[in-house]
Structure 1
């Protein structure tokens, strides 16, 4: 596939290409251009024209375009789900579902394009301003660069591109290196729907593409989902041009299981939240499980039984429960983290082995705070269970992390639930459900090393627009 610059599908300026591999067997399923600095520069120049065209486009027309894209995604959901499965390695049911979620996201932002309202602010609360009025209006930022990760590429990209366009911006997308194909396919629907040339562009390639976009003075905002290390680098570089930066970064989500929890339902949620969703490669996956000692043994047995029954294999097979990690580097990184946990005193209850890009669903006990399996984000199917005796101490352990994306509590005691909600330093607290959940109409994002700002259909348009105030001095009263 080619990449999209200024309304044209094109190769890289130097002709370089990157292979796209199926992580299940490392077979090549396509190639994409490896964009150069010259390609980035050309794209940013085109985006200036595209931004002016989008800012002049009425909201009803933006609605029509995004709604048309949503319909085209729905019409091609099965085909796109298969393509995403082959390039990403998630189960076919998951990738097909992800494409459907993307259609909903596009449709949601289409509607919100018509509801980007300002405010009317009477000033009679201020002495001497009783006869004055202020109004505010929201305007596009200009050019937004969307940097997209590999784990849920179509869904996460949809928030950035549909939100940016709904707010009247131009958007340049930097695709994930490992799985750019489904995004490129959907981008064709966007061109067919009638976007102005340069309003949306897609660049494929490596980190140097993202770095060039972050450095460019012609880009007004970076919207990025990815690792915390990458987020820090973006903030450092973006500071040179004072551009806006929205980051959704890593997580080490804690789940607190109380002694009144439904053990069987909790076990189901842990399996789904750590093993069978995204093959464990989710920023908000279940990463640390703190279990009240009275139910610890029963929960460990229930989770182990379910893990033993999981089928690992070809993600295109509907019977598969767990597919491969995105590439060999990712699988080897998880393997090293498990080995380190064992060296630090942890015990492997089940799993623990790597085969090519596949890593067995793994349960660890004896994990202590400070070891990487507890303190760092493990981006793969590894589930540590740690017993606790005191609920307040469990809350403290959950907060003892440089991350703060989401957390979960399993309990039917409303006081415990509200206490967790009060003190956990995270973006979302989930009750009696896995943390591996994201609802597109809710604000999503984290605190501390998990990022800044919030992303969601009702929030992103405010992140991707700017507010201007008109102060009308002494307009009330007699002539």
Structure 2
């Protein structure tokens, strides 16, 4: 792995004016020097992408599909190398990193298939008076330059959810990866070049969001902005982007309901993993668990027991479950929120301790509904557990949030499952599984402050294309 990474613009590595060291969050070891793009670099990348788009938009669908399928094959062949990069720069356990790479391969495969399945519909023109002797249909056309701003927590797969559909649709793309995990994105430069992607279709410019945001969201050539990150930054992007098409995935505060009669044998393991996988640094990580009073104490005891069994250690250790959080800044925030919650009455049932950059997985009960650990997105290894008496009580409490990405419910009753599904205010309701469940071809996106638009390859492509209606007036002489 090279130690110095430039900017990837127009199919070439270009020197940046400044470089910053990238550190391993778990060991604080320096991994590489990363070029930092400036607004002029972003403008160059966008202009280059715009010029390339004029040619690439005519690239046939089968050729785009072949490129994406080839990229998937290359990532699969280099899967262990890619997983190790995630583990080193993101402190994700090597097992979870391998799972992410497996999903990334599948995401690009879905994109390859979607490139060949882009079609519109016929409109029954004579359904309206005045529509006689007319033939109408819609087509979907590529939109132009897509700018993508991606998060640290899935540095290969969430990038794939933006790069894959952009290429499948025939667009060009300028990618700004997360500051904490740029290596996973920079590696795509050589992967896609080897896969045969024309120079200039994919441009990769690491840098600081506050420096590049205005250019990436407001440049006249930019037609679509896709962002995954915080609500606060999402609102800024929405203001800067104006009437451009936007996909904003802005986080969550995912609730899980354990209904009466649920089988705890089947519930404990997934709910613990859904709470603490990658230290809770997952957009749809479980943050609030509501357990029916009849199961509450047994569930809590078993949940705490399993949580205490999680292995804390190096990301490269095969047995590790819990590692360092992504940054010291994040760790300090988590400690502050935890201290505040305890002052407001919360009880730490287990965890709460910090060693180095690692916070032990933490279970809270008796949490005040006004505490940040209830109201905001924790994005760390902390989960709050509450008892409930009626399903309506649990649903209302679950909905008491500014967020609405995914929710989950375990229940043996199909009637109560549908009742909850209709009333939970989230973009996805996962029945008899955890809200952390996601596969890469399903529609994915939220209500309320969880964002706008949808991901999932087919749905992301729709966000990255324009629909055009075409009408033919037929010559009555031939009718």
Correspondence list, 1:355-370, <5 A: 355-370=355-370
Three-state SS of the structure 2 residue aligned to 1:256 is strand
Contact 2:246–2:463 (CA<8 Å) still a contact in 1?
Answer: no
Three-state SS of the structure 1 residue aligned to 2:256 is strand
Correspondence list, 1:12-411, <5 A: 12=16, 14=17, 16-207=18-209, 208-239=211-242, 242-275=243-276, 277-411=277-411
How many residue pairs were aligned? Answer: 474
Change (3 A) 1:295 1:189: same
TM-score (norm. length: structure 1): 0.97
Unaligned runs of 5+ in 2: none
Unaligned runs of 5+ in 1: none
Superposed CA offset, 1:215-256 (max 9, x none):
2111111001111111111001111xx211110111001111
Q: Which residue of 2 aligns with 1:6?
A: 10
Give the Å deviation of 1:7. Answer: 1.0
Superposed CA offset, 1:259-306 (max 9, x none):
11112321111111011x221101101010111111100000000100
Deviates more, 1:99-108 or 1:156-165: 99-108
Give the Å deviation of 1:187. Answer: 2.3
Contact 2:156–2:185 (CA<8 Å) still a contact in 1?
Answer: yes
Deviates more, 1:190-199 or 1:216-225: 190-199
Quote the Cα distance in structure 1 between the aligned partners of 2:256 and 2:477: 59
Deviates more, 1:353-362 or 1:140-149: 353-362
Contact 1:121–1:134 (CA<8 Å) still a contact in 2?
Answer: yes
Quote the Cα distance in structure 1 between the aligned partners of 2:72 and 2:231: 31
Give the Å deviation of 1:171. Answer: 0.5
Contact 2:166–2:173 (CA<8 Å) still a contact in 1?
Answer: yes
Deviates more, 1:126-135 or 1:245-254: 126-135
Give the Å deviation of 1:413. Answer: 0.6
Give the Å deviation of 1:477. Answer: 6.9
Contact 1:292–1:389 (CA<8 Å) still a contact in 2?
Answer: yes
Three-state SS of the structure 2 residue aligned to 1:220 is strand
Correspondence list, 1:444-459, <5 A: 444-459=444-459
Contact 1:131–1:477 (CA<8 Å) still a contact in 2?
Answer: no
CA RMSD of aligned residues (A): 1.2
Quote the Cα distance in structure 1 between the aligned partners of 2:355 and 2:449: 32
Contact 2:126–2:133 (CA<8 Å) still a contact in 1?
Answer: yes
1:418 aligns with 2:387: no
